[in-house]
Amino acid sequence: MVATFFFAGIFLYTSSTNSLIIHEFYAFGPHALWVWANSLHKLAFPWLYLLLVVVLWRIGWRPLLKVRAGVGWILVALLPYIFLTYQAQVPSRNMYLASMGLVSVLAVMLREIDSARIRKIFVAAFVAINIGYIWFVKDAQFEERAASTTQLVEQWLEPSPAPLLIVNFPQNPGIAKFSTRVVPGWEPEMVLVNQPVESCLSCLRLRWNPQSQNYIPF
């Protein structure tokens, strides 16, 4: 929590020169409440909801008072990230600290259940489904998300370094520019990303095709 408050203080202190705010990736406003609420829902679904139903069914609401610290941890840990403007929930890469609070809440609630059989079933389902989801769903998403960058690096291995214009790059342009650092001879300044063709008529030109998941010279 100390680290979260420290980060929030630095973020506010440097807001006038913070590139995230200058380029409107972050903005202070009421939309943050929606991002906060939606992120809490994404974090809680489905395991916290399911366990909440079981606890209320088996022993009532009073044991829920024991999870106040964990809930507070979750709420505060998300605060530095809820002012983003480019999507409706905090990205998963910024959920790790909040997830620690979620795990503590699940553990406390699970301990309160008076049936060892229910506890074992819940833990087995939690482990099996999460491993399966990462294996069959998230891994494919990671590969798809990385395709535009990995194939770009492969493209750079073929021609000699020269000014290059990339069109339809689906990620942050900075990712494409700084990926040049893994290929000898290329520099970020040599690459233009998602700019008009007129900005560099002499450049090599590549267009990302999201359907075929490859680059096409044009």
Mean pLDDT of 171-185: 89
Q: Look at residue 158 in the predicted model and tell me its pLDDT.
A: 74
18-24-28-30 Cα dihedral, nearest 10 degrees = -160
- When the pLDDT of each residue in the chain is averaged and rounded to a whole number, the result is 90
Listed in sequence order, the DSSP H helices in 26-138 are 31-44, 47-58, 68-78, 96-112, 116-133
Q: Look at residue 70 in the predicted model and tell me its pLDDT.
A: 95
Q: Any idea what DSSP says for residue 30?
A: T
Pairing type for strands 164-167 and 204-209 reads parallel
pLDDT reading at 4 higher than 70: no
Question: How far is 189 from 75, CA to CA, in rounded Å?
Answer: 41
In this structure, what token pair is assigned to residue 34? 């929606």
